[in-house]
Amino acid sequence: MLTELKENPACIECGLCREVCPVFTISRDETVAPRGRAVLAAASMAAAGTDSPTYYQCTLCRACRVACPVGRDPEGELLRARLVAAGTETDANREMIANIRRYGNPFGPLQPGEIPKKLTCC
Ligand code: SF4
Ligand code: SF4
């Protein structure tokens, strides 16, 4: 079972996390891989705010943390919370949160048994 960290270990840029990351497996894009995100987060959250979809592609599975030799946490929830606090989250995320608050689900108004026509996501 994963435990919360008081301090997140620094990334040593070994790249092992990329091999278990489902997002990197599909995209082959370093900027959305855990290693790339660690480098971006260390460089500047201001820069991250202009590219918030990068942080919403993470599925929050934490497979990268299990594979990481230093146990680095991808901090997906924390990064998203910072984007929301800074008002730089994606429009889709804003809509999803509004739907949950208003209708109790991420899709918007639904009749019983109705299948959502739109999947609101990041
Ligand atoms: S938590 Fe996010 S970055 Fe880590 S392996 Fe899962 S999808 Fe990739
Ligand atoms: S496995 Fe850990 S130390 Fe290695 S690149 Fe990924 S986050 Fe950095």
Q: What is the pLDDT along the chain (122 residues), one digit of tens a residue?
A: 666 667 888 899 999 999 999 999 999 998 888 898 888 777 765 444 445 677 788 889 999 999 999 999 888 888 888 888 888 888 888 888 899 999 999 899 988 888 888 766 65
Of the bound ligands, which one is closest to the alpha carbon of residue 31?
Answer: 1
Please check whether residue 67 lies inside any domain of the structure: yes
Q: CA–CA separation, 84 vs 14, rounded Å?
A: 30
Q: Ligand 2: distance of its center to the CA of 117 in Å?
A: 38
> Looking at residue 119, what DSSP letter applies?
-
Specify the number of domains making up the chain: 2
Q: Are residues 59 and 27 part of one domain? A: yes
Atom of ligand 2 nearest to the CA of 16: 1
Let me know: does 5 contact 73? Beta carbons within 8 Å. Answer: yes
- CA distances from residue 54 to 29, 51, 101, 112 in whole angstroms, order as listed: 10, 6, 25, 34
Please check whether residue 5 lies inside any domain of the structure: no
pTM of the model: 0.75
Q: Ligand 1: distance of its center to the CA of 98 in Å?
A: 25
Say what the pLDDT of residue 50 is: 46
122 CB within 6 A, ligand 1: no
